[in-house]
Structure 1
Amino acid sequence: MDYVRAEPRPWTREEVEKLKRLYPNPNFSIKDLEKEFGRSFRAIQAKALRLGLTRNGFNPEYVRKNDDRPVEEKVLDILKASKLPVSAEEIEEKVGVSNVEEVVNALRGKGYDIKEIHAKKPLYVLVRFADWSQEQYFRILGKIRTPCLLTADWHVGSRHFSELALKEMIKDVEEYNIKDVLIAGDLLQGLGVHRVELLDLSIPNITEQVNYAAKLLKQFPKDVRFHIIIGNHEEKLKGKHAVGYDALQSLSEKLDNVIYYGSVAKLQLDTDFTLLMVHFSGSPSYAVSYKIQRFYEQLIERPDILVAGHFHQLMVLPKPPRQLLIYPGTLQRENRYFLSKGWVAQVGWIILETYTPIQQNIIIRTPEVY
């Protein structure tokens, strides 16, 4: 595979002055720089190093003539060294290439398990490698901070999705100055999982569902980030009704503040704690708390907080000494399948106001009108 390499072409005085002005500018992308100077980013970085210029707060000392390792090896080292996902832009900056996706795909072809986190600007994380401790079975995929809002099962596209409840949620986000909203699956109704759910559809077109969901998320303050995982409704859509189409990935590409992690997300809460977000499947058990407790006990690595969507319940189960097991409610008033099983949805959400070893402030919100 051929990668862009530095070209030995002299720099003019005008180009140097322009480089001094544009290189430190974070709004001027790598592709913009390559287009402006007609050079590879590696060549631009090398010149910036000699001039002592910085970009994003660091000096590109990694651009040296004696570093002749393959680009794939350099990218792999970056992913191994990082405890958090690394953006394509950051990899481009450090390695000096503009085709990170090709490099990542080449590494995947060699057997490396590299996960892409879908957002407006994609993020990459090396899921596991040989010298990685099994004590950290789930890699941290992102960072969140308190106060944060926990929710799930909106089922946008269903006749029973409550836009009135959503408006109340937005008020809470504004009142508590929340910056991170976690959605534990089934943001979309899709075409349902069970045949009877076809009767619940108000928006049968999936593209229209995605567009409507994007419109709803735009109603939140602009500085709010949405952390989303897939639910069984989106999985059914991807695996049967629209094979291969990931509606949530499409949504994440429409909005700058949507981060889509796939099926499971381990997130770093503040600085010292972990939160694991999952979405269950199957029918309700005889006791609402049974499945989440059993799931937690069977985990190889147990987080401080477990958030599980699917059952449309609103519940916080303390697990000594400080762990929390959470069902984060729903925004779907009714569900024909659950009603057939005698199961009643609990519309609402959870606000995790503070979380420390000695104090956990939790607000369980149930809107009066929905």
Structure 2
Amino acid sequence: EIDTTPETATVDAISLPNGARPQAIAIDPKDNYAYIADQNRPNIYVLDINPNSATYHTVVQTIAIDSPSGLQQLTINSDSRKLFITASDSNIHVININPLDKPTNLTSNPRKWHQQIGKILTPNGAMGITTTSDPSKITFTSGNPGTDGSGFGVLEITNSNPLSFAAEARYANLSLGSDFDYFDVNEGVAVTVMKDGRYAFVAGRNSRGNNNPTDARQGGNIGIIKDPLGPNPQLVAATRPIPDSLTNNLALSSDGKYLIASYPTINLGGSSYVFDVEEMIKAIENPGNYKLDARDRGVDTWGFQASNQRNATTADLARVPIDDINPLVSIAADYEITGGNWINNFAFSVPDGTNRAPIGIGGNPKGLAIA
């Protein structure tokens, strides 16, 4: 919300074209333009955000995308030259935003500035999308509720010339451990990557698990992928599934220390969960430094029984939530099993006395960005 005319008594909002339904936004790193995706129509609205411009806070262009209907998420690659969009057709679309290609005479546009220059077919779906430190690589998630065998993807640019743009997409498996246990990362809908490229984090919405529960412990969570930009990305661990949640977005803090995720719930009681990235990596790389009891509860989790403790193993990462193995992973995410019989009945709550409860937001939180 911006008051475009502060001299008046009312808040005069930025005007988008009639019928616009903004779904996502990406800001040009040079702060010249904001690119706004419409969730109902295949349009990108280009908003002038340069305060020195005569068209400040005005939509100066609408870019049509080759999709039958609305758009989903968008990102700008790290050299600030391409805008990538996921759309209702489950493909990835690319716009040239390189300022060096902006024509001096607007009657001619030989380098296709602010035009769609590519469409990468992603047959297993594309929903979440994010940039990486490598300008030639973009990561995405399929958002496919029917399969997790292709839940995470990498798009690699093979020709960056806007007149002959080309890119290839490849998928990686989001399955974790046994197909028959409750613990998994289902329906990847958003992704973020560490600046050094060591790990990526995927939000799993798991709507089918919530709608058809075979185990009350199922729910939305976050998967951790090792070497996401390499030839063999591997899902190595995940956070605790939260029943009745539909995890839908996540972001790393600008210093890379904290992972913040958006957890709307079926009954619209949304929260933000915050995790310690360093503590996640410690548990992944040295699980033997942590103890689990006979019910796979870690030290300092609710009900931990020291009398039957053992060292955790790498194999445990595929079947035990990482925030159960190492509770220090939770900065503001302590919502765990605190009752029930641990066989076919599980009661979840924020443990009494904890100072690491999730941050209540309410409503239905969706978008998430880091300042």
TM-score, length-scaled by structure 2: 0.26
Q: Which has the larger radius of gyration?
A: 1
Q: Which has the higher strand share?
A: 2
Q: Which has the higher helix share?
A: 1
Which structure has more RCO (C-alpha within 8 Å, separation ≥ 6)?
A: 1
TM-score, length-scaled by structure 1: 0.26
